[in-house]
């Protein structure tokens, strides 16, 4: 909550970027996992980005904001509405969405959701829908099945770690590609399909065809020492 509050204004300013590649000033990627943050705090951003997905003139780009919410997160799904109920009585709202945003976490507002992620399927480490690495909307709200994030604290599962690693490594490769001028400048479509793959010590193979799970398949996780 502290992180989101500190970055909220910067996120709003980024979401208000005119047509073209969104280049955030706050960080390459902001990640929230099971945040106990009321949906009302995200509404200003949502209002600004609703047209992103529909605007096919916007360039495809990596996400700059990702909120991953476990579907079975009991504290945020069930307890958060109860604890925020009294404060919601004093707030005036317009419409059903605003009413739900006052006493529900941002990860449980269906209108905000952009992606679903489930456990391993076939040879892929996770099943992300939509599958694309780059989208017109760089603000991702991801609902995670228990095989990915199990409850409020169950984040140390290989499938989720691979999802996070794939996002981070994509940003690293993007930064390296821009440094070596393999990617078109801001405002144009950005793709590694026509670029020379840059070698990274922690990725087995080159950048894949735009499917994030395919890319993650080449990442090798170091064993975790679980206590």
Q: For the chain, what are the domain ranges?
A: 2-216
- pLDDT value of residue 196: 35
- pLDDT value of residue 93: 72
Say which DSSP state 183 is in. Answer: S
pLDDT in tens, 162-220: 999 999 999 888 888 777 665 444 333 333 333 333 344 344 433 444 799 999 988 88
- pLDDT value of residue 195: 32
- pLDDT value of residue 74: 95
- pLDDT value of residue 9: 78
> Which tokens hold the place of 199?
């070698």
Low-confidence ranges of the chain (pLDDT < 70): 1-3, 5, 18-21, 23-25, 51-57, 85-90, 180-209, 224-227
- pLDDT value of residue 53: 59
| Strand blocks (E) in 88-197 | 115-118, 127-129, 139-144
| Strand blocks (E) in the chain | 30-33, 65-70, 115-118, 127-129, 139-144
Average pLDDT, the chain: 80
Taking residue 226's Cβ as centre, other Cβ atoms within 10 Å add up to: 5
pTM tops 0.85: no
| Alpha carbon distance, N-terminus to C-terminus of the chain | 27
Whether cis (ω within 30° of 0) applies to the bond prior to 174 is no
- The conformational region for residue 205 under phi > 0 = left, psi -120 to 50 = alpha, else beta, is left
Distance, CA of 214 to CA of 115 (rounded, Å): 16
- pLDDT value of residue 226: 52
């Amino acid at each position: 909550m502290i992180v989101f509050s500190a970055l909220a204004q910067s996120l709003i300013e980024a979401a208000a970027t005119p047509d073209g590649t969104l280049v955030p000033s706050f960080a390459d990627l902001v990640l929230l996992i099971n945040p106990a943050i009321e949906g009302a705090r995200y509404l200003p951003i949502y209002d600004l980005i609703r047209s992103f997905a529909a605007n096919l003139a916007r360039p495809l780009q990596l996400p700059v904001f990702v909120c991953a919410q476990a579907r079975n997160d009991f504290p945020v799904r069930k307890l958060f509405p109860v604890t925020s109920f009294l404060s919601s009585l004093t707030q005036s709202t317009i419409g059903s969405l605003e009413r739900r945003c006052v006493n529900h976490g941002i990860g449980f507002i269906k209108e905000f959701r952009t992606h679903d992620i489930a456990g391993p399927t076939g040879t892929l480490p996770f099943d992300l829908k939509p599958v694309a690495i780059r989208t017109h909307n760089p603000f991702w709200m991801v609902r995670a099945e228990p095989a990915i994030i199990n409850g409020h604290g169950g984040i140390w599962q290989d499938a989720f770690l691979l999802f996070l690693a794939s996002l981070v490594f994509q940003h690293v490769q993007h930064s390296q590609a821009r440094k070596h001028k393999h990617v078109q400048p801001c405002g144009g479509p950005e793709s590694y399909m026509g670029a020379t793959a840059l070698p990274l010590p922690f990725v087995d193979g080159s950048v894949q065809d735009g499917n994030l799970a395919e890319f993650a398949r080449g990442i090798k996780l170091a064993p975790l020492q679980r206590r």
